[in-house]
Structure 1
Amino acid sequence: MSGLPSADSSERARAHRLGRQLRALREAHGLTRPELASAAGVPLRTLSRLETEGVAQPGLFTVAALARALEVTVDELVAAAGPVPGLWSTGYEGRTIDSFVAALVEAGVDAVADVRLTPISRKPGFSKSRLSAALAEADISYLHLRSLGNPKDNRAPFWDGRVGEGLAAFADVMAAEPARRELEELAELAVERSVAVLCFEQDERRCHRQAVLAELHQRTALSVAALA
């Protein structure tokens, strides 16, 4: 396992969510950036950085001034920008790396859990190093969960309609200690962050990740959504 998301990446994710929330509220009030900056009494450059770059530790007085101008409390503003726990199911089949990352950002995904046994791909951008780099640029954490990968000799059942057989074989994989440990760590992450479980197949019914997500749902009671 490559490790759970760091504190720094969590801070960056929160900063970008705050920026998106500020922009959404400003637009809902029909204000331009200069108009909001003027109403709040904060420098336009500061507001621009908050909305577009994300500031990990914005000044309390700045946030309070913006909240007043947007007619919300500081607590409401910060809470609305907080992480939303959840589980997403996604495959990169038929996607480009740019469209994939854009869909994650649009959905508010904070972390991607890669459940491929071997995270390499002939599809440009989806091998481990390039994928993790592309996600990092969008402030999305990446973790490779090798122990939750499907063995090569158990892939055909999912592809040719013998899904029950494939799930039965994969249940033995999930029962092993390494997989159980990674499932527990992933469940803990999902109740705090929005996590997309990734493999190749776009159709979850043809992929072993359905078993991983079913187990996570059972452990966390979180619903699972498909990434559009």
Structure 2
Amino acid sequence: MFTVGHGTRSIEEFLAILQDAGICRVADVRTAPGSRKHPQFGQKELQASLRAEGIEYVWRKALGGWRKPRPDSPNVSLRSPAFRGYADYMDTEEFDRAIRWLIETSADMPTAFMCAESVWWRCHRRMIADALTARACTVIHLMAEGTPQRHRLHPSVRLDGVRLIYDGEDQHQQRLPT
């Protein structure tokens, strides 16, 4: 399983990164799959560019970001309300169905889940990668052509049963393998 962010790249640079990694499917995890600043990454434009290279495109809004945190959020180590909200969302049946879909569909072909942010640790892709890692998936972040990075769990995450909790408290909890 791979992650990639389009950032400010040209479509040619983006496609080269995907091709270098052997990606056959892109799962777009943007809540709103468009870009005014970078129209080559608008949903229709991106889908056409990927199709021309033989890469399948699918939009997965259920994995999109911009979630609001719960007032009683246990994810207290995440300072950003957007990340805390996403961590709260990860504890829902909707997220569980979406992440299971991602795992199942990536089993038949190399898949990259994609968002706009080029740097994975400043994007909800980091948290999706944590959820996949917790489910025994290997996740590789595609940064630039030829420079993949294996995912490492967020330093404050712990496993409580099957839940990921970002609270920085791991003294008496089971820690996920890195």
TM-score (norm 1): 0.54
Once superposed, what is the RMSD of the aligned Cα atoms? Answer: 2.0
Which of 61, 74, 82 is the equivalent residue of 1:146?
61
| Residue 221 of structure 1, CA deviation | 2.7
Paired residue for 2:169?
none
Paired residue for 2:135?
219
TM-score (norm 2): 0.68
The answer to whether the Cα contact below 8 Å between 1:93 and 1:202 also exists between their aligned partners in 2 is yes
What do the CA deviations read for 1:20-76 (whole angstroms, capped 9, x no partner)? Answer: xxxxxxxxxxxxxxxxxxxxxxxxxxxxxxxxxxxxxxxxxxxxxxxxxxxxxxxxx
Q: 1:110 to 1:117 in 2, by over 3 A?
A: same
Q: Note the 1:76-95 alignment, pairs <5 A.
A: 87-95=1-9
Taking the aligned partners of 2:32 and 2:7, their CA distance within structure 1 comes to 16
Uncovered stretches (5+) of structure 1, i.e. residues with no partner: 1-86, 155-161
Q: 1:196 to 1:227 in 2, by over 3 A?
A: farther
What do the CA deviations read for 1:119-166 (whole angstroms, capped 9, x no partner)? Answer: 011112101111111101111111111011112767xxxxxxx95444
- Displacement over 6 Å in runs of 4+: none
Q: Mark the structure with the bigger radius of gyration.
A: 1
Q: Does 1:105 align with 2:19?
A: yes
Aligned residues: 135
Letter in 1 for 2:27: A
Q: Note the 1:119-158 alignment, pairs <5 A.
A: 119-122=33-36, 123-151=38-66
Paired residue for 1:159?
none
What do the CA deviations read for 1:141-195 (whole angstroms, capped 9, x no partner)? Answer: 11111011112767xxxxxxx9544433212222223222111010112233211
Q: Does 1:205 align with 2:121?
A: yes
Uncovered stretches (5+) of structure 2, i.e. residues with no partner: 70-76, 145-178
Letter in 2 for 1:89: T
Q: Identify the structure with the greater strand proportion.
A: 2
Taking the aligned partners of 1:220 and 1:138, their CA distance within structure 2 comes to 30
> What is the SS of the residue equivalent to 2:57?
strand
Paired residue for 2:28?
114
Percent of residue pairs bearing the same amino acid type: 31
Taking the aligned partners of 2:11 and 2:128, their CA distance within structure 1 comes to 23
Q: Does 1:179 align with 2:95?
A: yes
Q: Identify the structure with the greater helix proportion.
A: 1
The answer to whether the Cα contact below 8 Å between 1:88 and 1:227 also exists between their aligned partners in 2 is no
Taking the aligned partners of 2:113 and 2:32, their CA distance within structure 1 comes to 15
> What is the SS of the residue equivalent to 2:87?
helix
The answer to whether the Cα contact below 8 Å between 1:148 and 1:173 also exists between their aligned partners in 2 is no
Letter in 2 for 1:214: D
Paired residue for 1:167?
83
Tell me whether 117-126 or 167-176 shows the greater mean CA deviation.
167-176
